Amino acid sequence: MRMSKLALMLVVAAAAAVPLEAKTLAKPGVAIATAVASAGRSADNVKLDASRKPAQVLQFFGLRRGMQVVDLFGANRYWAEIMAPVVGPRGHVDVWEPEQFADADTRKAFDEFAAKQTNVSLIVNPIDKPQLAKNRYDFAMLNLNYHDLYWTSEKYKVTTHDPAAWLRTLYAAMKHGGTVGVIDHVASPNRDTRATVDTLHRIDPEVLKADFRRAGFRLAASSSMLRNPADDHSLLVFNDKIRGKTDRVVYRFRKP
Structural domain span for residue 109: 27-254
Cα separation, 75 vs 80, in Å, equals: 8
Domain membership of residue 230 (yes or no) is yes
Quick check: helix, strand or coil at residue 189? coil
pLDDT of residue 27: 72
Name the H helices within 117-174.
163-173
Domain membership of residue 8 (yes or no) is no
- Taking residue 223's Cβ as centre, other Cβ atoms within 10 Å add up to 18
For the chain, how many structural domains are there in total?
Answer: 1
- From first to last of the 256 residues of the chain, give the pLDDT tens digit: 444 444 434 333 433 443 433 343 447 799 999 999 999 999 999 999 999 999 999 999 999 999 999 999 999 999 999 999 999 999 999 999 999 999 999 999 999 999 999 999 999 999 999 999 999 999 999 999 999 999 999 999 999 999 999 999 999 999 999 999 999 999 999 999 999 999 999 999 999 999 999 999 999 999 999 999 999 999 999 999 999 999 999 999 999 9
Domain membership of residue 33 (yes or no) is yes
Domain membership of residue 227 (yes or no) is yes
pLDDT of residue 1: 40
Listed in sequence order, the residues at least 6 apart from 152 whose beta carbon sits closer than 8 Å to its beta carbon are: 158, 159, 160, 194, 198
What CATH number did the domain enclosing 171 receive? 3.40.50.150
Using alpha carbons only, what angle is made at residue 236 by residues 233 and 241, rounded to the nearest 5 degrees? 85
Domain membership of residue 195 (yes or no) is yes
pLDDT of residue 138: 98
* Backbone phi and psi for residue 218, each to the nearest 5 degrees, phi listed first: -115, 135
Domain membership of residue 112 (yes or no) is yes
Domain membership of residue 1 (yes or no) is no
Domain membership of residue 5 (yes or no) is no
